[in-house]
Amino acid sequence: MTTVRLIGPGRAGRSLAAALADAGFVVRGVLARGDDLSAAARGVDGLVIATPDGAVAQVAAAVVPVPGTVVVHLSGALGLDVLAPHRRRASLHPLVPLPSPEVGRVRLRAGATFAVAGDPMATQMAEALGGRVISVDDEHRAAYHAAACIAANHVVALLGQVERVAASAGLPLDAFLGLTRAALVDVGELGPAAALTGPAARGDDGTIERHRAALASEERPGYDAGVALARRLAADAPTAAAAAAAPALEEVPQCV
């Protein structure tokens, strides 16, 4: 059996510890940064550093290297250089939100995508969890992680704006979540360009100005940024592909 130890008792560390145990790994505890970390790499096949990004290098440096132990970090943005004292290094970044150890434990074993680099142990962990593996080298880590943040954090923040604007019309966020879910399904099935609808996509500037007039001034920058992204997507979409993907104009509801 593969033995692992983790440093970092936060949501990510505890989620992964539980998920790995469920997958048959032997988890030899979860240490905190206040513990003596010098011997953390002893007696295990893998040591996972699950601390915030800014602490990874410091924590790795505090651990005495053990030649046969793979040291793994969970950062999406950092390269392997932050694990410099250790010969065998890897990164394992799950592309799934981990809001609590209980939810994370389940999500990490539900077919999540994992970005890996370095030692093959990272791939072994991802595959043992039933995940899909993608390889991201150090050169592309920042761009990869930016995409991940846009896909999750920015979408959540955008829905926070939906909640505020909906409340100004006396409506709950829940009234709009079906629309969001359907749009995400369309993106998955058709791609972003073919899934795009709405006034920015069809050049309806009058509707956009009515929206802006109805919005509180502090909400307009976010709305304007969304309009700009929609216009860019519409402009970049191949005309022929968009025409082939869409039904005839008179058959397309223009309600969104």
Which burial class, exposed, middle or buried, applies to 154 when counting CB atoms under 10 A from its CB (0-12, 13-18, 19+)? exposed
Q: Is the pLDDT of residue 240 over 80?
A: no
**For 237, left (φ over 0), alpha (ψ -120 to 50), or beta?**
beta
Please name which of 104, 122, 103, 117 lies closest in space to residue 12, comparing C-alpha atoms.
104
> What does the pLDDT read at residue 244?
45
Q: What is the mean pLDDT of residues 106-125?
A: 98
> What does the pLDDT read at residue 170?
98
Q: What is the mean pLDDT of residues 49-78?
A: 97
Q: Which two tokens stand for residue 32?
A: 């905190």
The count of other CB atoms within 10 Å of the CB of residue 191 is: 13
Angle at 105 between CA 104 and CA 108, to 5 degrees: 75
Whichever domain contains 176, its CATH number is: 1.10.1040
Whichever domain contains 97, its CATH number is: 3.40.50.720
Same domain, 167 and 128: no
* Whole-angstrom distance, CA of residue 89 vs CA of residue 72: 6
Q: What is the mean pLDDT of residues 2-23?
A: 98
Q: Which pLDDT band holds residue 1 (cuts at 50, 70, 90)?
A: confident
Enclosing domain of residue 9: 3-136
pLDDT tens, residue by residue, 38-47:
999 999 999 9
Same domain, 84 and 18: yes
3-state secondary structure of 79: coil
